[in-house]
Structure 1
Amino acid sequence: MLFSSPEFIFVFLPAAFAVYFALVHAGLDVAGRGCLVIANLVFYAWWNSAYLLLLMISVLFNYSLGSELGRMHRKGSIRAARVVLTFGIAANLGALGYFKYADFLMENYATATGGSHVALNILLPLAISFFTFQQIAYLVDSYRGQTLEYDLMNYALFVSFFPQLIAGPIVHHSEMMRQFGDSRNHRMIPGNITVGLIIFAIGLFKKVAIADTFATWADAGFDGTGPLDFFGAWAASLSYTFQLYFDFSGYCDMAYGAAMLFNIRLPLNFLSPYKSLDIQDFWRRWHITLGRFLRDYVYIPLGGNRAGEARVLSNLIVTFTLGGLWHGASWMFVIWGLMHGVALAAHRVWRGAGLRMPRPLAWLVTFLFVNLAWVFFRATDMASAKRVLWGMVDIGSIRRTTLDSLPTESLAWAGKGMDWLLAVSPPALAVQAPVYAALLLGFALIACRNPYQFVTDHPSNAMTLGAGLLFAIGIYVMLGSTSTVFLYFNF
C-alpha cells in the first residue's frame, strides 16, 4: 500500500487513526495498541500476504532472543550470551542472505567456476532489509545490557509500525518503545496532528508532482538503448539525482507526518543532503539512520577511529561497500558503496592535511561526485552505466547534434565563422529545454529550508493553508496518473 495511494490516504490511515484513538480514549490502551499492531500487519500484507508469516516469525524470534540476552547479561553469563548473540545475528543474516542474495551469489559463483546457474527467482520480501537491521541492533544492545524489559506488544509495534516499516527510518528501540509506552501519547494532540498533516502534504507533493515527473526523464535516459548525447546524458543523470532526492525526501516526510498523527516522533532521516559541502556531511544528511547503523554496528566494531590511520581508511571503505551491498544484490550497488567509501577516506586524508576549498567549489565538487555515483546506483549493469557516463563526457556530440539538426544551406551560409554561435545555442539543448527548466527549479527547491526546520515546532495558519494547497495539488496529480513505487521500497 503506497503512502501516495487513495487506499492509504482515504481509507487505511483515517481508519487506523480513528479506531486506535477511540480505544485508548475509552481507557483500552492495550486493545488500542493491539489494534495498531493488526493495522501494521494488514498494511504489510497488502503487498504480499505470503510473507506476512515471515515478519511475524522474525518478531517473535528476535523478541525471545533479545529477552534471553538481557537476562544473561544481568546474570553475568557473557560467554553463553555471546553464543546466543552469534546465533541470532547468523539467523537474521541467513534469512536476509537467502531471500536477497542467494541468486546473486550462485550466479557469481557459477561465473567464477565456469558452471551453470538456474535462477531461483526468489521474491524479495518487502522491507526485509529494514526490519532485519533494526532487530540485529536490538539483539546487540540486549547483549550489551542496553535494553529494558519491553513487553511483546511494544516490541511488535517497534518493528512493524507502518510509517517506518517498509523503507525506514531504521529506528532504534530506545527511541521508539519508550514512546509507545508513554501514556501521554495515548490521546489526540491537536498540535501533533497539525504538524503531521502539514509534513505529510509536503511529502505527497514531492513524490507525485516532482519525483514522478523527473522519473519519466530518468527512465527514458537510463532504460534506452541508443547512444546518449552530452545534453541527453546529463539530463538523464541529473533527472535521476533529483528523482531520488524528492522520492526519498517525500517518503521520509510522509512517514514522519503519518507517525506524528499517533504522537510518535520518528528520528530525522533526511536533512537537505544536496546542500552538503563535503561527502562526510552528505552522509550526516542522507538516510541518516542507515549511516548511524553502519557507524554503530559495522564501522565501530571493525575498529572505527581507534586503529592506525591506514586501518581507519580501510574501515571506512569496507563499511560503505557493505552499505552499498545492503541496497541490493548487484555489483552496481557495490561499486556505488565503494565509491562513497573511497570518497570518505579521501576526505579524511584531505581534512587531515589541513586542506580546504572555497564553499561554492566544495559544494560543486560534492554534488558532482554524488551525481556521478548515482549513475551506478541507477544503472542495471555496467553497459548501461558506461552508456550514460560516456554521453556525459562526449562534448563532441554537442557540435555533431547541432550540425545534424541544421539544413545544409544554413551550414553553407554560416561557414566556420558561426561555430561559436552553434556552441552557445545548440538546437540539441533546445530539445531538452523542459528537462533543464525542471532541473533549474529542482536546484532552487533544494536550496530552500527543510520543512522540519520551520514546521515541526511552530506551524502557522499560512503553513497550514500552503500545505492544504500542496495536498490538493498532490491528490489531483495522483488521481490523474499512475504513481510509481517509492524507490527505497526496492531495497
Structure 2
Amino acid sequence: MLFNSYEFIFLFLPITLIVYFWLNKYNKNKLAKAWLVIASLYFYSYFHKSYLILITISILVNYFIGQKLSNNKYNIIQRKMLLIIGVVFNLGGLGYFKYYDFFVSNINSLLGTNFTLLHILLPLGISFFTFQQLSFIVDSYKRYDLTYDFLDYCLFVTFFPQLIAGPIVLPTEMLPQFEAEENKKINWENMNKGLYIFSIGLAKKVIIADTIANFANAGFDMMDKLNFVEAWLTSVSYTLQLYFDFSGYCDMAIGIGLMFNIILPANFNSPYKSTNIQEFWKRWHMTLGRFMTNYLYIPLGGNRKGEIKTLRNLFIVFLASGIWHGAGWNFIIWGMLHGICIVVHRVWKNSGRKLNKLIGWFITINLVNIFWVFFRAQTVTDAMKVINGMMKILELRLIYNFEILIELKPFFQRSVGILNNKINLLILLFSVIIILKKGRDNEELTPFIFFIAIIFIRNAANFLYFNF
C-alpha cells in the first residue's frame, strides 16, 4: 500500500485516524497504541507477508537488548558485550539481506569461485528501521532515559508514516510524544496543516516526480548511447525527480504524523540552493546526516583528534553513507565522490579562502547532478554512458544549427509523451510554481492541490527510496 494510492488515502488513513482518536477519547490509551501498531504492521506487511516475520524478530531482539542495557545490575564489561551483540545483530541482518549477493558476486569475480547467489528479497525499509533501532541500542547503552514499555517501543519502530523511507527518528524525540496527554485528542489545526503538507508531498510525487521520471528513465534505461543534450536532460531530470520524489514522501510522512499530533523531523531544506557541498548535506536527507554524525562521526573521534583524522572521519562517513544506500559499486563511488568533495571543501575552508556564492552554487549543483548519475545507474557502465554523453562539449554545435531537434527525436519518443498533452504540461508547470513559491504558508490551497494531485494518481508508482 502506497501513500499515493486511493486505498491508502480514502480507506486506510481515515479509518486508522478515526479508530485511534475514538479509543483515546474513551481513555483506552493502551488500546489506541495497540491499534496504531497493528495498523502499522498491516501497512508494512501489505507489501509482502514475510516482512512481518522479519520486523517482529528485529523488534523483539532489540527491545530485549535495550532493556538489559537499561538495567543497573550489569557491569561495564557485560554492558559492552550487550552493545556489541546489538550492533552486530542489526548490522549483520542488514548486511545479509542487502549485501550478501553483492559480496559473493565480487568474491566469485575476484577469486574465480562459484558460490551460490541467494537472490534475497530486500525487505522494505530495513535500512531505516535498522538505524532507528541501532539508535535505541546505543542510547540505552549511554543510559538515556528510555524506560518505555514494549508497546511504546513497537510504536516507535513501526509508526507507519516513517516506517519505510524515513525520516529517521530517534527514540528521545518520538517516544515522549505518544505519552503527552494533549496529543491524544484531535487537534483540528494539526489535522488541517497535516493535510496541507500531505497534499504538497502528494503533488510533488504524482505530478512532478513521476512526470520527470519519463525523461530520466528514457536516458538511463532505454538508450545505448546519449548525445550531449540527451545526457544532460537525463541527469537533470533524475536530479529533479529524486528531490521531488523523496521530499514528497517525507512531506507526506510529516503531514500524516501531524494528523496524529506527532511532529516528525524535517528531512529537506531547499538543498539545491546550497553554495557548497557541506551546506548541501546540511539540507539534504537531514536525519541521515544527523544519524551519521551522532553514531559514526563522533564515535570515530569527530574533529577532536587533529585535522588529518577529522578528514579521515569525514571520508568514512560518506563512504558508509554510499554503502548504506545500496549494494553496488556505483553507490560506493557515489559515496567516495561526496567524501572527497567534503574533504576538499574543509581544506579550502580552513585555508581562509572564500568563493563567490553564485560560483559556489554553480559548482555545487553541477557536482551533485553528476554524482547522482552514479546513484541512479544500475551499473558503473550505465553511469559512464551518461557521463560520457555529458562530456561531449563539441556537440553544442548541434544546438546552434538546430540539428539537435532531429538528434533528440529518439529520446523524446522513448519518453512517455507528457509534452504532447498540453493540459498535463500546464498543470505540471502550475504545480511547480505553487509548490516552489508558496511553500507551506498557504493552507487555503489545500483543496486545490489535493484535488489536482488525486487526478494525477493513475498507476501508483513506488517511491525511489523504497529501493534503499
TM-score range, shorter chain: over 0.9
1:63 maps to a residue whose letter is Y
Unaligned runs of 5+ in 2: 413-417, 420-424
Distance verdict in 2 for CA 1:393–1:202, change over 3 Å:
same
2:204 maps to a residue whose letter is K
1:64 maps to a residue whose letter is F
- State the match for 1:32 in structure 2: 32
2:405 maps to a residue whose letter is P
Superimposed CA distance per residue, residues 122-164 of structure 1 (whole angstroms, 9 cap, x where no aligned partner)? 0011111111111111101111111331111111110000000
- CA distance in structure 1 between the aligned counterparts of 2:270 and 2:433, rounded to whole angstroms: 10
Unaligned runs of 5+ in 1: 403-420, 456-462
- CA distance in structure 2 between the aligned counterparts of 1:184 and 1:490, rounded to whole angstroms: 37
Identity %: 48
- Mapped pair 1:473 → 2:461: no
1:20 maps to a residue whose letter is Y
- Native 8 Å contact 1:271 1:285 kept in 2: yes
Q: 1:426, CA displacement in angstroms?
A: 4.6
Alignment size in residue pairs? 456
- Mapped pair 1:218 → 2:208: no
Superimposed CA distance per residue, residues 166-188 of structure 1 (whole angstroms, 9 cap, x where no aligned partner)? 00111000000000111110000
- State the match for 2:260 in structure 1: 262
2:4 maps to a residue whose letter is S
Q: 1:442, CA displacement in angstroms?
A: 11
- State the match for 1:2 in structure 2: 2
Distance verdict in 2 for CA 1:222–1:333, change over 3 Å:
same
2:253 maps to a residue whose letter is A
Distance verdict in 2 for CA 1:347–1:443, change over 3 Å:
farther
Q: SS at 1:284's partner residue?
A: helix
1:220 maps to a residue whose letter is A
Q: SS at 1:226's partner residue?
A: coil
- Native 8 Å contact 2:276 2:364 kept in 1: yes
> How well do the aligned residues superpose, as a CA RMSD in angstroms?
2.2
Q: 1:444, CA displacement in angstroms?
A: 7.4
Task: Please show how residues 202-351 of structure 1 align to structure 2 within 5 Å.
Answer: 202-351=200-349
- CA distance in structure 1 between the aligned counterparts of 2:436 and 2:49, rounded to whole angstroms: 41
Which of 163, 170, 175 does residue 173 from structure 2 map onto?
Answer: 175
Q: SS at 1:145's partner residue?
A: coil
2:449 maps to a residue whose letter is L
- Mapped pair 1:489 → 2:461: no
- State the match for 1:62 in structure 2: 62
Which of 136, 159, 162 does residue 160 from structure 2 map onto?
Answer: 162
- Native 8 Å contact 1:272 1:450 kept in 2: no
- CA distance in structure 1 between the aligned counterparts of 2:168 and 2:22, rounded to whole angstroms: 29
1:236 maps to a residue whose letter is T
- Native 8 Å contact 1:398 1:428 kept in 2: no
- State the match for 2:422 in structure 1: none
Q: 1:118, CA displacement in angstroms?
A: 2.7
Structure 1 residue runs of 4 or more that deviate by more than 4 Å after TM superposition: 428-435, 440-447
- CA distance in structure 2 between the aligned counterparts of 1:277 and 1:447, rounded to whole angstroms: 22
- State the match for 2:50 in structure 1: 50
Could you say which structure has the larger radius of gyration? 1
- Native 8 Å contact 1:274 1:446 kept in 2: no
- Native 8 Å contact 1:242 1:442 kept in 2: no
Q: SS at 1:388's partner residue?
A: helix
- State the match for 1:411 in structure 2: none
2:44 maps to a residue whose letter is Y
- Native 8 Å contact 1:45 1:51 kept in 2: yes
- CA distance in structure 2 between the aligned counterparts of 1:446 and 1:262, rounded to whole angstroms: 26
2:43 maps to a residue whose letter is F
